[in-house]
Amino acid sequence: MARKKIKIKKIDNITARQVTFSKRRRGIFKKAQELSVLCDAEVGIIVFSATEKLYEYASSSMKSIITRHNQHIQGIRGMDRFLEPQGEDNSNLAELHKEVANRTEQLRRMTGEDFEGLEFDDLLELEKTLQSGLKRVIELKEKRIMDEITAVQKKGIQLEEENKLLKQKMAMLCKGKSHFLLDSNITMQEVASSDSMNNVCSCNSGPSLDDDSSVTSLKLGLPFPN
């Protein structure tokens, strides 16, 4: 069964009012404690009952919380006094604040926020502004793309030239190597021919058949042939 919604108004019955105060006070203190533990927040609550009785809850120390609160309030007030126009030298400060607020509001509207209070003409003007800005963005994007394409093309031409130079160097190296091999073959052929001639000379200058037969006769103990 759904819980009956209670209308928020002052309870006329004093007893019922006191009971409700006690229950709700304990409930709000419990919620404050949970908030402090779950979110690591510093929480302080001060409650005066209808009978001027003081109830308080502090997650750390009520004195430190109050001191921190006062320092924060004083800092805000000091900043407000600093920002307030003082004398003729600061007469334009309020206008500057107003200009900053207007620019901030325009920026929020251009990002799709805070359209409340805009009339139809204001919406048309905002649409024109956005279209103009979008056009400039597209033009800038196309320019950047063309610049990148041009850079890539230049890089490709440079690589082609370097490749051409490398091919020329390789051709020169191969040509020099072929000449070296041809000279080496000629030298080897000359060496081979010289070795052949030496072998022929050696054969011609060797012992004759008569000498061979004489040696054979000596070994066998036969008389020398006449």
The CATH number given to whatever domain includes residue 19 is 3.40.1810.10
Phi, psi angles (nearest 5°) of residue 127: -65, -45
* Residue 42 predicted with pLDDT over 60: yes
Alpha helices (runs of H) in the chain, residue ranges in sequence order? 14-39, 62-83, 93-110, 120-204, 209-220
* Residue 34 predicted with pLDDT over 90: yes
- Mean pLDDT of all residues belonging to the chain: 75
Average pLDDT, integer, range 121-131: 78
Q: Which two tokens mark 82?
A: 């600093």
Q: Is position 58 within any domain?
A: yes
The pLDDT-based confidence of 81 (bands split at 50, 70, 90) is low
Q: Is position 215 within any domain?
A: no
pLDDT of 126 reads: 74
pLDDT of 196 reads: 57
pLDDT of 43 reads: 92
> What's the pTM?
0.34
Phi, psi angles (nearest 5°) of residue 53: -90, 135
Q: Is position 131 within any domain?
A: yes
Tens digit of each residue's pLDDT (9 = 90 or more) over 193-220: 555 555 544 544 444 444 455 545 444 4
* Residue 105 predicted with pLDDT over 80: no
Q: Is position 192 within any domain?
A: no
69 & 125 share domain: no
pLDDT of 124 reads: 80
* Residue 182 predicted with pLDDT over 50: yes
Q: Domain limits at 166?
A: 121-180
pLDDT of 210 reads: 47
Q: How many domains does the chain have?
A: 2
Q: How far apart are CA 140 and CA 202, in angstroms?
A: 93
pLDDT of 171 reads: 84
The pLDDT-based confidence of 85 (bands split at 50, 70, 90) is low
125 & 71 share domain: no
Q: Which residues share a beta bridge with 45? A: 57
The candidate with the shortest Cα–Cα distance to 162, out of 172, 154, 174, is 154
- Amino acid identity of residue 221, one-letter, is G
Average pLDDT, integer, range 10-24: 89
* Of 83-92, 125-134, 140-149, highest mean pLDDT: 140-149
Q: Is position 222 within any domain?
A: no
Ranking 27-36, 75-84, 99-108, 161-170 by mean pLDDT, the lowest is: 75-84
Q: How far apart are CA 186 and CA 180, in angstroms?
A: 10
